[in-house]
Amino acid sequence: MNNLAPFPIARPRRLRLNATIRRMIRETILTPADFIYPLFVRHGREIQQPVGSMPGIYQWSVDRLPAEAESIARLGIPAVILFGIPTRKDALGSENYDSNGIVPQAIRAIKAAVPDLIVISDMCFCEYTDHGHCGLVNPSPGDPRHVATLPQGYLLNDPTLELLGRASVVHAEAGADVIAPSGMIDGMVSAIRKALDEAGFEHVAILSYAAKYASALYGPFREAAESPPAFGDRSQYQMDPANAREALKECALDVMEGADILMVKPALPYLDVIRAVRERFDLPIAAYQVSGEYSMIKAAAANGWLDERRVALEALTAIKRAGADLILTYFAKDAARWLQAEL
């Protein structure tokens, strides 16, 4: 940048004089169309159950979803992502590939009520398995499924791929527009793409959680999705928060496997990663402002320490400025209202 006149000729404050001129030269424009709203769905009727650690967020029964979906669409938010809470968990996460499971039911209900609302199905097994990990794990040595060459509790990568493909087809049959694999299982995108294509769902897109970090910011989500691991943690498959170059490798692999959209998760502590992925790849980039990011702002605002609206919009703007085209955020509904009020 070498075409600047010196002070006092140059006075950048001229273009910050009032709100109108500031809007005229704004470089990053946040709109409701940028947002994807997460929904937690569970069995039952007439349920709108608050999530204690996430004020304003609820678990919904399927019969309450049409009204909620209509309110989301009215705000100009184009998409939702679904997380299911099963009635029964087992070692195989079998409700995830049950056509009458909670997420397929939810997909059908939403698409019937608001056909144009894009429905994204989070594709992972941690909510459905009794051990809380994101796929099949190596059982104890006495179990006939035990693999002697692997540690007990190790996530069995390749057997999990078959289940991911099977569940993705079931969700596509229910009407999902996008499948979003989130388990950081090696080969997950290619396995899902192959299964979808062979079942005639070549039009269903894949939004890959390509760079998902083993973050401490997922705590409130685990209450909302009822999915804490029964032992250990997820560091054996999610990424080390210290690594940035590894994120580019993960994204490159997912691009080669057929991902349509790449995601970085969490968002605000990883703006450098979002920027690096944006600069390296031409695919649409999504970022997930996760539960901990949401809850920290909510808690500080509840104590009067921060202005919730200003901080939330500032954080979302930073995520978009870093290069995200799409933002998964629990603030989506509030942010949409705030943005509309500013027009």
Active site residues: 212, 265
Assign 320 to helix, strand or coil. helix
Distance CA 312, CA 333 (A): 12
CA 288-292-296 angle, to 5 degrees, is 120
Give, for 255, the enclosing helix (H) or strand (E). helix 245-257
Write the DSSP assignment of 168-208 as a string of letters. HHHHHHHT-SEEEE-S--TTHHHHHHHHHHHTT-TTSEEEE
Give, for 80, the enclosing helix (H) or strand (E). strand 79-85
Give, for 36, the enclosing helix (H) or strand (E). strand 35-42
Give residue 208's identity as a one-letter amino acid code: S
Task: Dihedral sign for Cα 221, 50, 302, 337, please.
Answer: positive
Is residue 225 within 8 Å of 127, Cβ to Cβ? Answer: yes
Length of the chain: 343
